[in-house]
Amino acid sequence: MTSSRRDFVRLAAGAPLAALALGAPARAQTLETLRVLSFPSDAIKQVLYPIQAGIFRNLGVQIDIQSMGSGSAIMTALIGGAGDFGSGSIFSVFPAFGHGIPLQIVAPIAVYDTDHCDYWLTVRTDADIQQARDLNGKVLGCDSPSDISVVATRVWMDRNGGDGKSLRALPINGSEVLPAFLQGRIDAATQRPPFLTVAMQSGRVRAFAKPLDVVAPRFLLSCWVASNDYIAKNPANVKAYVTGLTTAARYINHHQDDTVAMVAQFTKQDPAQVRAGVRTVIAENITLADVQKPLDFAFKYGMMDKQYDARVMLSKFMPMAPQ
């Protein structure tokens, strides 16, 4: 065991993986239960690892995770009171905030970084699609027609000689994207792990472009949010949750192999595929610019009807890098 791992395990109290039971009752001490809603992606390791390592337990909380199919479903459930914390694309948070939904960002999940891209526009390996204009009139598989993947792909097409307006968006669940490709129902899709990994390893799909580069080379892509009411009434729970996430992030970014089994179990994916695929880098903290840049993009391209200062969306618990 390396010294860094020993130090982490000492901090985390070293609970074994066999003790991990997401819905299990707490041992001996009484713990606050935090209801967490999440998409089944590689980034869920940010929550699973501190559960396994005992970090959350040491902070006085236990986690009840519910897996959901999309960021929009998570936002809807969170607003309806079905959870305390919800994960999602920052671009699903912006419209909710813009429509007066009382939500705040409490912690980062992943930062998009063009040099470590895990969010690709993909096409069939045998498709005659080599440049932006080849997508004119084609069908794009997506979470929803208003999703950032659609907006960014259209902007990318326009900036590279194509006609973004001609692209047709077809809502489809991530797990169904590869079958849709093979059945000829879609011509392109934006994908991320674990579905990106499965598609690429099939040999039937290839990475084509990085449309999120049109937003910025680096920006906050996904985050944890909670309602203003929950934050106000449960500051200790929010602090514990954010502390657990950030403590774990510092470790798992440098020990990705330690998270393979838990991610595979949660996402129902072959561990070998998780290990071989593109792994998400968890943001330990962010700058204000990391939030402001995608917010400005959302306003410029009609995803928001008003321009905001990013600071109004951030809770006091949000871990921020020094300016």
Residue 132: give the domain boundaries: 120-209
Cα–Cα–Cα angle for 285, 58, 260, nearest 5°?
60
174 and 232 share one domain:
no
Question: Residue 323 has what pLDDT?
Answer: 61
Q: Are residues 109 and 136 in the same domain?
A: no
Q: Are residues 201 and 229 in the same domain?
A: no
Q: Looking at residue 15, what is its pLDDT?
A: 36
Residue 48 and residue 108: Cα distance in Å, rounded? 15
Please count the CA atoms within 13 angstroms of the CA of 2 that sit on its side-chain side: 7
Could you give phi then psi for residue 85, rounded to 5 degrees? -130, 140
> Does some domain include residue 182?
yes
- Asked if 93 and 242 sit in the same domain, the reply is yes
Could you tell me if 193 and 49 lie in one domain?
no
- 112 neighbors 91 (Cβ within 8 angstroms): no
Last residue of a domain, one of 184, 209, 234: 209
Strand partners, 36: 65, 85
Q: Residue 282 maps to which CATH number?
A: 3.40.190.10
233 belongs to a structural domain: yes
Q: What is the dihedral of CA 264, 269, 270, 275, to 10 degrees?
A: -60
In degrees rounded to 5, what are phi and psi of residue 234? -135, 55
Provide the number of structural domains found in the chain.
Answer: 2
Condensed to tens digits (0 to 9), the pLDDT of residues 96-141 reads: 888 899 999 999 999 999 998 888 999 999 999 999 999 999 999 9
What is the model's pLDDT at position 8?
Answer: 39
Q: Note whether 135 and 176 are same-domain residues.
A: yes
Distance between CA atoms of residues 235 and 204, nearest Å: 48
Is position 214 within any domain?
Answer: no
Whether residues 185 and 224 share a domain: the answer is: no
Spatial distance between the Cα atoms of 215 and 222, rounded to a whole number of angstroms: 14
Residues of the chain falling short of pLDDT 50: 1-28
Q: Is residue 321 part of a domain?
A: no
In terms of domains, do 184 and 148 share one? yes
Q: How far apart are CA 11 and CA 99, in angstroms?
A: 41
Scan for tokens 């912690």, then name that residue: 107
What is the bridge-based pairing of β-strands 85-89 and 139-142? Answer: unpaired
Which residue stretches of 173-315 are H helix?
177-182, 195-202, 228-233, 235-252, 260-267, 271-276, 288-300
Beta bridge partners of 227: 103
Q: What is the pLDDT of residue 118?
A: 83
> Are 145 and 60 contained in the same domain?
no
Q: Which of 187, 209, 231 is at the close of a domain? A: 209
Same domain, 89 and 125: no
Answer whether 149's CB lies under 8 Å from 142's CB. Answer: yes
Instruction: Identify whether residues 109 and 26 lie together within a single domain.
Output: yes
Q: CB–CB of 141/186 below 8 Å?
A: yes
The number of residues making up the chain comes to 323
Contact status, residue 74 vs residue 284, Cβ threshold 8 Å: no
Instruction: Pick left, alpha or beta for residue 153 (phi over 0 → left; psi -120 to 50 → alpha; otherwise beta).
Output: alpha
| Assigned domain for 322 exists | no
Residue with tokens 């960014």: 152
Does residue 260 lie in a domain region? Answer: yes
Could you tell me the CA-to-CA distances from 49 to 43, 129, 257, 311 in Å, in that order?
Answer: 11, 40, 12, 29
CA angle 260, 287, 147 (to 5 degrees): 65
**Within a domain: residue 323?**
no
Q: How far is CA 271 from CA 1, 201, 261, in A?
A: 22, 13, 6
Residues 107 and 223 in one domain: yes
Domain assignment of residue 57, yes or no: yes
Q: Give the number of other Cβ atoms within 10 Å of residue 93's Cβ.
A: 27
Q: Which of 185, 209, 233 is the last residue of a domain?
A: 209
Q: Which amino acid is at 97?
A: F
